[in-house]
Structure formats: C-alpha cells, structure tokens
Amino acid sequence: MQFFATAPKGIESLLKTELDRMGAQQIRQVASGVHFEGDLKQAYRACLWLRTANRVLMPISSFQAKNPEELYDGIRGTNWNDHLDPDGTLAVDFFSSRSRVEHTHYGALKVKDAVVDQFREQFDRRPSVELLQPDIRINVYLLKNQATVSLDLSGESLHKRGYRTEGGMAPLKENLAAAILLQAGWKEIAEQGGSLIDPMCGSGTLPIEAALIAADSAPGLLRDYFGFLKWKQHQPDIWEELLTEAEERETRGISKLPPIIGYDADSDAVRISVANLEKAGLTGLVHFEKKPLSDLTPHPKTRERPGIVVLNPPYGERIGKQKELQKLYREVGGKLRAEFQSWQASLFTGNLQLGDAVGLRSKREYTFYNGAIRCRLFNYRQLGTGADATPPRRESQVPRDWVAGDEIKGFVNRLQKNRKRLKKWKAVENIDCYRLYDNDLPEYAVAVDIYHDRVHVQEYQAPVTVEPDKARSRLNDILSILPDTLDVPAENIFLKVRHRQKGSTQYQRLHSEHVFYEVREGACRFYVNLSDYLDTGLFLDHRLTRKMIGEMAEGKRFLNLFAYTGTATIHAALGGAASTTSVDSSQTYLDWAERNLALNQLKSDRHRFVKADCMPWLKRSTSQFDLIFLDPPTFSNTSGSKIVFDVQRDHPVLIKQAFDLLAKGGTLIFSNNFRNFKLDPQITDSYELRNISRETLSPDFQRRPSIHHCWVMSKKSSD
C-alpha cells in the first residue's frame, strides 16, 4: 500500500529518516512530505510514532478534473460505502495548485456533495459533516488538474499530542519542537546520558518533547482520536498490538531518562509547563523552575552530566522589541560562554540578525518554518572557546536538482543579482518591504515585491501579441521557482494580475481573508494585506516621499489627502507634527489608517480621520495647514457618484483647492502615478515648484523613472 506523510517545509529530511528507521519501504522525499510504502500496520505505526509529521494520508484514487463536473464525477467513481456507513460523519480537506478548480471551499463542497449524493442514491440516507473528529477525513489534492483522493489516517494534525493544556504567548508546535531537538542531536546526547536545559521554556514544549524522545515514548500514545479508528476497514487487533508495544517501550525508556530542566522568568509559563507535564504523564521526570536568564547556571542534577542547552527566545514577530531583544541575545551568548563551557547549545530564532547577536560561531545551521515565519536553528558545538562571530550569509541559490530552460534561468539570475544589489541598502534603511524585480526581462512581465518573509507577485496583463497559453506557462514557471529561489514557503506567495484600472474598479476587493501582517519602514510600522485588494496598503515607490514628509513635519499642521491607509500620516506623526488630518472616501482605509496609528503607539487626540470625497471637502473646509500631501489616484469615483475623477483632467482644480487651505509659508507635495501625466501650464505659472520625481525614487525603483511624478510646491513670494 502507498502512503504520504506530510511535514512543514524544512523538516522533510528528518521525516524521511524517521520512516526509514521504522522500516518503511520505497521512501521518496518531496517538498512538503515523504512518500512511502508498507502494509496497514506500517501506516498505523507511522501515525503513532512519527514525531515530525503533520498527517499520514492513504491515496485511494486518482483522476483528471479539469472542471467542477469532472471533480464531482471522479469522487462519485469511488465506492464510499467501503469506507463509511450511511449514518457516519465525514470532513473534507481540499487543496488546489495550478488547476482550473481554484477555490478550495468550493472544491471541498463539490467533493462532499458527490459523497453525500452517492449515499443518498444507494441507501436513501446520507452521512453528515463533522469538522472536528469525523469518522473519516477525505483529503483531495488537485495539482495541474490531476486529483489525488486520500483518506487522512491521522484525522487531525499529528502535532497535537494530547498533553497541551494552554499554549502560552508564542508556543512552538510539538512536531517543530521535536524537529529542533532531533536536528540538534538530542537523541544521541540522551542515549549517552547527557542532560538538557531550556532556559526559556515557555509552555514547556521543548523539555516535554525532549523527555518523550529520551524515554522512547510514542508521541501519539496520549491521543484518543485518529482518522482510522471509525474507518470501516480499520483493524483494531493490529492497533492494539502497536499500543501495547509502545507502552512497553515507554516503561523501559522512562527508567533511563537523563536530567531535563526547564527554566522561565514568567511564573505563569512555569505553571503552564507543569500542567502540560502532568497531562503528559511525566510528573517528576522533568524539572520546571522559575528563574531569570540573569541567574542561569547548570542545575545541580546536570553538573556531572553536561549535555545541551536548547532555547527558543522571542524574535520580534509576536512578542518583544528589537532593541530589547538585541540585548537579550547578547546576554544569552554571554551566559553560554561563561557557564556552559563543556556543553553544546542550539538556538532557534526567526530573526537572523538576532542570531548573530549571540556572538558564537555555529557549526551547523538549519532552516525551518514556525507557521509562516522563516526561522533558523543554530547549532553550537564549542561553547566558551572565544568564538565571536557567525559565518557570513549566502544568497539563496537555484536548487541543484532543478532543471529549467535558459529563459527561466535568466529570470532566476536576475532575482539573485537584484537581491544582492539591494541587500546592504535595505539593511541601512531598516525596511522590510521592497521591489525585487519589475519587468526586468520582457519575457517575464511581473513585479516581485518582498514583504518581510512574504512575496507579492503582480502579473502585468500580457499584450495581445503574446499567446495566452505561453503567458500562462511562463507565470507557472515563475511561481514554481520562487519558493526555492527566495527561500519562502509556497503559501507565502501571493499573486495578482494587474489590468488597466478605471473608475469603480480602482480599489475593488479581490478576496475577504482579512489577514494583516506587520511590516517596518524605518521607525514606522504598518499593517499590510496581501490577499484582499489589488494593492497591499503600502505604496512602495513613495517610500522616500514619506520619509521626506516625516523630516518636514515637526511642529506643523499636516493634511493627508486621498490618505489611503495613512502611511504618510504615520511618518508625519512620528516626525513630530503638531496635528494631522487624513481625508479619504473609504471607511475601510480610514479604519486601516487608525490601526496603523495604534500600531505605532500614537494617541489619537492630535490625529483626525475624515471620511469624505476630497474635492467637495476641500471646498467647504476652512482649516489651515502648514504641510499638505496630495497623492490622488489616476482614476477614481466615490460610491453613489457618477462622476469619475481623472487626475490629468482634474488636477489643476484639485491643486488650487488644496492651496486655498495652505498657510503662509506652507508646502504642498503633489504626487501621482499616471505614467503619461503632464503638469498643466496654469499650475507651473501660478506656483513655485520643484520636480523631485527622481529624488524620490529609491534604488529598487530606479529602473522605472516613470513610476510616479512628484513636486514640492509653494505659493509664489509675491503672494
């Protein structure tokens, strides 16, 4: 029988080793998992014993599904009565990649309908849907219109061991913790009697997983639910035999458990750790204690049995501040050198700069993912020897086993060249978000933007001279190579197709996932959304304009017209503006702007947000401002209005209205992104102005000088 065990990116090789050690056959590692063969007992053993896997899937059919009808018919082609009773329960997980049936929820509904309709036709009864613990869980993966239908034997993710009572602030998943420990060499250290200390144990996941590994305890032994337990072909005798064997192995292993210690400065974390330990059935076998890092020394139980220090400090994604964390990581390095000179150490972090701050040279490094966060495991083998630096970082390379044509190789080379060119600049500017590639090669008409550890890809609409199939093929090539080339998981890549936008289509919602990510731009923090809208909430090409506004804003009354998500307002506020007013016709964007304000810990008493169409608002406003930022869209209309704003046609009136609110000696910054824009002569004749379009192009946009137009304007001195 054939099976597939899934795993988070970066863990596949560890999973392959686990399957090999438990006797699986025909093992084949791929991205996101490992294929293997064996009998049903082997599959049950995998569910019970795999420490690094997410799920164990058993394929039962495969067919082509170019449309929803073929998907439905293919599912109906399986005899589901072989697997489920008419009165049973089911759940469906549906995944799609490079296929015509793209919507996962819709695909899952078609699968469910096909199963239910088959039962209704045969028995005049139908199973019901149960999302949490169904009798069977059906997994459908549609890749290039080829569907693979599997039964999920695990039922729910195998990282759920059954011992966690509370998670704490930023818990590691159990299978990730196990992967860290296995890659750190803990299994071999424990077999030699070495100890383990976790100085920042949080909810105790690392020490508890360390105990399960050292005790030879099956990670699934505490679970009371698997996806095969109510499957009609389940063989309970085999399962009971495996459970008995696992219990006997655990009994023998616990008697040889080495010292395992968990410290944390937070008493709540220690309380949660103790509760989790009790639920794991390991009370008294792992020691948890409240202790700050400043007091860290080897526990008396470990002094004669040095081993490994393993820790997962905060790294600024969810808890902690960057400057404070730099000090913390330096303290970690100092403690390891001073107190653990005969020990090994492993540190897991999602921030490479913080990893460097430890001040130790790692012998090996491994990349894992904590959810969507790309992380690094640093293994140190020579503590206390005076090592004071980590080796230089290497740019990601094209995978060695990847075969591609000359064209796509040129695209990959351009990505890597641009990445190297921009690396020092973005570090100096302290930014997370930048444009890596912008239609550099005519064959690959996309823009690739980096948002910290996520990638936003915009496909420019292909000209009529390019065949649709060729354009689609090139886009598929791009999406297939980006994960390895940029070292990001595929789920962190977001694709948009840009058409020429006019009128009401300008800010049309694309999806409704409501997922926001925090990014940085100098001293500012912003929320971006990569899935729901054509734009992300942060116009990258206006980065230097925003910086200039921040430098000019001190003590001034600032007006942000067409404010969008308020990013310029944040720069002005942090730059010391006396007050800010942000005007936009969209309540959605104003709410977003207020969230950005709160993210930067700015109080709202000096910052006003106005929902209004800018031109009518300018007509009726009587306020005066010292600094105005006017950045209108190329085309726009307000909900309920038949009048479409056109920046080329309407900018003279708009600028004049803005100048009516500009105080004596004030400055107006006017910007827009209409490529063929020409400033009206009446504006050049009426105001003092300076074209700063090129001055406001940062290195990532200098290939496209027409990306925006920008002027600094003021009233003529005679006024």
Q: Is residue 42 part of a domain?
A: yes
185 φ, ψ to 5°? Answer: 90, 20
Q: How far apart are CA 584 and CA 617, in angstroms?
A: 10
Give the pLDDT score at 90: 97
CA trace torsion 325, 592, 531, 402 (10° rounding): -30
DSSP code at position 490 = G
Q: Is residue 523 part of a domain?
A: no
Among 445, 476, 499, give the residue marking a domain's end.
499
Give the pLDDT score at 324: 79
Instruction: Determine the angle formed by the axes of helices 236-254 and 40-49, rounding to 10 degrees.
Output: 40
Give the pLDDT score at 643: 65
CATH number, position 627: 3.40.50.150
Q: Provide the residue count of the chain.
A: 719
CATH number, position 53: 3.30.2130.30
> Three-class SS of residue 170?
coil
Q: Is residue 400 part of a domain?
A: no
Q: Tokens standing for 656?
A: 């004049």
Q: Tokens standing for 378?
A: 């640093």
Q: Is residue 397 part of a domain?
A: no
Which of 368, 266, 367 has the alpha carbon at shortest distance from 320?
266
Task: Give 244-281 pLDDT, tens digit per residue.
Answer: 999 999 999 998 899 999 999 999 999 999 999 999 99
Q: How far apart are CA 132 and CA 116, in angstroms?
A: 18
Q: Is residue 526 part of a domain?
A: no
> Three-class SS of residue 149?
strand
224 φ, ψ to 5°? Answer: -110, 5
Lowest mean pLDDT among 52-56, 578-582, 598-602, 608-612: 598-602
E strand intervals along 470-604: 493-498, 517-521, 524-528, 557-561, 579-584
| Contact yes or no for 548/537 (Cβ under 8 A) | no
- The string over 164-194, giving b where at least 16 C-beta atoms fall within 10 Å of a residue's C-beta and e elsewhere, is beeebebbbbbbbbbbbbbbbbbeebbeeeb
Sign of the CA dihedral running 123, 126, 132, 136: positive
At residue 501 the predicted structure's pLDDT band, cuts being 50, 70 and 90, is: very low
- What is the pTM for the complete model shown? 0.57
Q: Tokens standing for 716?
A: 């003529």
The verdict on 39 and 77 lying in the same domain is: yes
Residue type, 75: I
The verdict on 545 and 632 lying in the same domain is: yes
Rounded to 5°, the CA angle 414-416-419 comes to 110
DSSP code at position 581 = E
The verdict on 313 and 272 lying in the same domain is: yes
Task: Give 638-678 pLDDT, tens digit per residue.
Answer: 545 556 889 999 999 999 999 999 999 999 999 999 989 99
Q: Is residue 647 part of a domain?
A: yes
Residue 226 makes CB contacts below 8 A (sequence gap 6+) with: 47, 153, 154, 155, 220
Say how many CA atoms lie within 13 Å of 218 toward its Cβ: 19
Domains identified in the chain, total number: 4
> Three-class SS of residue 128?
strand
The verdict on 195 and 343 lying in the same domain is: yes
- Which residues form the domain of 608? 532-715
| Contact yes or no for 336/360 (Cβ under 8 A) | yes
Give the pLDDT score at 490: 75
The verdict on 347 and 440 lying in the same domain is: no
Task: Give 454-476 pLDDT, tens digit per residue.
Answer: 999 998 766 566 666 677 777 77
The verdict on 197 and 332 lying in the same domain is: yes
Q: Is residue 507 part of a domain?
A: no
Q: Is residue 563 part of a domain?
A: yes
The verdict on 604 and 703 lying in the same domain is: yes
CATH number, position 463: 3.30.750.80
Give the pLDDT score at 381: 83
User: Residue 552, Cβ neighbours under 10 Å: how many?
Assistant: 19
The verdict on 338 and 418 lying in the same domain is: no
The verdict on 188 and 309 lying in the same domain is: yes
> Three-class SS of residue 348?
strand
Q: Give the residue carrying structure tokens 């708009």.
A: 654
Sign of the CA dihedral running 16, 17, 20, 22: negative
The verdict on 101 and 209 lying in the same domain is: no
Helix, strand, coil percentages in the chain from 3-state DSSP, rounded to 5: 35, 25, 40
The verdict on 611 and 710 lying in the same domain is: yes
The verdict on 97 and 203 lying in the same domain is: no
Give the pLDDT score at 235: 97
Q: Tell me the mean pLDDT in the region 85-89.
A: 96
